[in-house]
Structure formats: C-alpha cells, structure tokens
Amino acid sequence: MKKTKKNRQPAIKCPYCGRPAVLRKAEYVYRENAREGYLYVCSGYPACDSYVGVHAGTLEPKGTLADGNLRHKRIETHRLFDAIWKNGILSRKDAYRWMQDTFCLTESQAHIAAFSEYRCDCLMEECRRVLANNRIRPAC
C-alpha cells in the first residue's frame, strides 16, 4: 500500500496500554483465517489484544482500537442495530439517523466501531426496545 498525502498513516495510540499502533497485514492477527486487508495493531500485541480493521484501499481505521471484550460487544451491538433495518422497521439510512437523534450524535460519531462498552450497552438497550415494540425477537 503506497502512502500518499491523502493516504498517510495516522498516529494511533492504544487506549489500553498507551503504546503506538502499527499497521499490519490481517494475517498477523487472523493467521490462516485472514481476510485480505490491514489492521492497526497495538505494538504490544499479543499481550495487549487491541486492534482495529482498516477501510479497504486506504490507511483509514474503521473505528478505534478495541480489546477482545469490546470487539465482541461491538459485534453484538451491530447485530441488534442491523436487525432494525434488515427487518424493515426503518431503512438503513433512517436507522442511522435514529441512532444519531437518540444519542445526540453527529454523523461522524454514529459508528459502532468507535463506541465504548457503555455506548454499546445503551444502543443495545434501545435496539431491543425498538425490536420488541415491533414484535421482533432479536437473535442475540
């Protein structure tokens, strides 16, 4: 991946240990289960299990570095949130607007990949409420 002015690697610090994150190919973490692409990985990995994916074709992180617990919580949150638009309660675009309005977020802040455990918990609670009000039982 060639670095250009638009494609410059950002300086990212691990929120858990303070070490710098380094750009690595996905197989560095996923081994034989690797998808193509890159990750920002804490330089203390694997002792510090913190990393985040990178948008394809860029050096832009998809969110913030997360340890295993937070990555799992973000996945669970996304499944509940996605159930709202996948079940036709709202369009995908309107679901993101609903999230923004519910939590007073800007469009750039409304990304589950950047959420804390607390914000994930709050969004999951709201998603469960919406799904229940529409008589849809969430998978998780």
**Alpha-carbon distances, residue 123 vs 20, 100, 109, 112 (angstroms):** 29, 11, 13, 9
Domains of the chain by residue range = 1-65, 68-133
Residue 11's pLDDT band (boundaries 50, 70, 90)?
Answer: confident
For 74: left if phi > 0, alpha if psi spans -120 to 50, otherwise beta; the answer is alpha
Structure tokens at 121: 């918990």
Residue 30's pLDDT band (boundaries 50, 70, 90)?
Answer: confident
- What residues are paired with 38 via a beta bridge? 25
Contact 80, 131 (CB under 8 A): yes
pTM recorded for the entire structure: 0.85
Write out the H or E segment, with its range, that includes residue 120. Answer: helix 117-133
pLDDT confidence of residue 140? 54
State the average pLDDT over residues 97-125: 97
Residue 62's pLDDT band (boundaries 50, 70, 90)?
Answer: very high
Backbone angles phi, psi at 126, to 5 degrees: -65, -40
